[in-house]
Amino acid sequence: MSNIDTMKYLETAISKDPSRYNLTAIYRDIDCMVATDGYRMHIVTGLPKIDKPHLLNGIDAQYPDYTVVIPTETQLLASIRLYKKQLKQLKDYVTFTGKNTVSRLTIDESGLLLSVAVGNITASILLEAKEYFHSLKTTGLKASQLLEALLPDTLMTIETGTKENATLVIQSPIYNTKAIIMPCKLN
């Protein structure tokens, strides 16, 4: 992943709320970079070590301890490979449903089913799992956050935290990326 792609991946997760000024920038930790808006977080690891962590925008502010929301125990649900065409289908899906629409995500032996109901219309997309390990009962999440966490043409794993930390964790070992997405309440 080039620096431009890395920065773009991280920038999708920074806060747009100016009152949360310490979250409006990418945080450079000792061996990784982190961005969060409080609802999801993107992390890029495997970077050269630095001596002093800092915010990349020059603001002198305390960055929250992001490590407390990373699940220490996870359950592997599935591994998937998204191709550019499938990613375009997902983008079209998000355009149809609206960026902040809460979607339903279900994982079972048939794959990952992402669906949303808008009025009387339901849209769904099924992504085939390369490997299936455990089911995920239907959970809610913002479709746009899922889309921004997925990378094309690479194998990614999808995990969930334990009951105490039921976040969704999407990782790409090839690109050293990790996205943590907080679930949303389903209507």
Q: Do the Cβ atoms of 13 and 37 come closer than 8 Å? A: yes
| pLDDT for residue 134 | 78
133 is a domain residue: yes
Q: Classify residue 12: in a domain, yes or no.
A: yes
pLDDT at site 43: 96
User: 168 and 109, same structural domain?
Assistant: yes
pLDDT given for residue 177 in this prediction: 92
pLDDT for 52: 92
The distance between the two most distant Cα atoms of the chain, rounded to a whole number of Å, is 55
Question: Letter for the amino acid at 56?
Answer: L
- C-alpha to C-alpha distance for 35 and 40, rounded to whole angstroms: 9
User: Quick check: is 78 in a domain?
Assistant: yes
Placement of tokens 């002198």 in the chain = 60
Residue whose pair of structure tokens reads 């997309």 in the numeric block: 125
The parent domain of residue 85 ranges over 74-181
Q: What is the pLDDT of residue 1?
A: 53
Residues 144, 35: contact at Cβ < 8 Å?
no
Dihedrals phi, psi of 167, to nearest 5 degrees = -80, 160
pLDDT tens, residue by residue, 156-174: 888 888 766 678 899 998 8
Instruction: Give this prediction's pTM.
Output: 0.85
Q: Which helix (H) or strand (E) holds 102?
A: strand 102-108
One domain for residues 23 and 60: yes
What stretches in the chain show pLDDT beneath 50? none
Q: How many domains does the chain have?
A: 2
The whole-angstrom separation of Cα 85 and Cα 91 is 10
**What is the reported pLDDT for 42?**
96
